[in-house]
A and B are shown apart, each in its own frame.
Chain A
Amino acid sequence: MNSKSANVGIVIVSHSPLVAEGTADMVRQMVGDGVPLAWAGGNADGGLGTNSGSILAAIERAWSDAGVAVFVDLGGAETNSEMAIEMLGQARSGRVVICNAPLVEGAVMAAAEASGGAALARVVATAEELSP
């Protein structure tokens, strides 16, 4: 269903499922339903952590042919996200970008930009302006 959206998708990845879900909730309330949105957080046992499988599933949920912008909190989230993006396969992995931006602010800014129909590069640039 999401793949029919013309807007760039947003994926939020945190070591904490609560942080990931809360951030996604914030995006939803502030930006609305115009962007495909998904989150991944926590390890398989429900503790803190990230894993490639659940990130891959989140990217699939938020998939848009316009691309997907991924927001991560700490190092492991980034490494696992990179792995998940590779597992998408070459045809799609080039359309997913991990943004160098703060998780909450980045996701909200990117989603706002995406909801206006901006291209992936524009969405990513908007989020990354937040990083010095």
Chain B
Amino acid sequence: MVVPANAALIGGLIEACRQTIAANADHLSELDRAIGDGDHGTNMRRGSEAVYAERDRLVHLPMPKALEEIGLTLVMSIGGAAGPLYGTLLMEIGRQMAGDADFARVLERAIDAVARRGRASAGDKTLLDVLYPVHAEVVRRAGLAGIAEEAERAASLTFAMKAMRGRAAFLGERSIGHVDPGAKSCALLTAAICRFLEEQGPA
């Protein structure tokens, strides 16, 4: 039922995301210490390791189901607000993918679900400030390198934003002048995924 190429793709994506989180966990926690509670890197590492531990099972699932299960694992393991947010993103992508072949539309619905979950919108200094621009690039069919670059640029733009949601919102004006850790992890993961897919060559 599942072609081996799918298993390699799922396994590769899991490994690429795990590596980028492992390499950047300290930096993410550092960003979070400035405007949050300082554990974003630790939380993301716990989540990515939990997914990695499940990879032998996950790679044998059809892609939509695998994404849904990865999302659930993230919810149960990351903790903090990032768990439900990343979990919702992946669970929704999986669910939507099962019934819709248009990835831009799938992504849009999943991002909307994240926005509802966090009651946040664009400009609130959250991971949405990376997800929306990434979606825009997907819609205009930008290349993988372009999407990764835009994600990084979008994350850096959160530096000047005032946090409206999450722990950082308590800081008000003082949240300005720091990159949002959630936006940063989102950009790092986007870049890792794009890099991995690019190495795979044309689908």
Contacts and interface: CB of A to CB of B under 8 A. Distances in A.
Q: Do A and B bind each other?
A: yes
Interface of A: 43-45, 47-53, 74-76, 79-80, 82-83, 87
A80 B46 contact: no
B158 interface: no
B175 interface: no
A52 B117 contact: no
Contacts of A43: 39, 43, 79-80
B64 interface: no
B80 A74 contact: no
A79 B167 CA distance: 12
Contacts of B87: 52, 83
A55 to B, nearest CB: 10
Contact of B88 (A47, A49, A50, A83): A83
20 contacts: A43-B80, A44-B46, A44-B77, A51-B79, A52-B75, A52-B76, A52-B83, A52-B87, A53-B75, A53-B76, A53-B77, A75-B81, A75-B166, A76-B167, A79-B85, A80-B81, A80-B83, A82-B117, A83-B117, A87-B75
Contacts of A74: 167
A51 B78 CA distance: 7
A82 B88 CA distance: 11
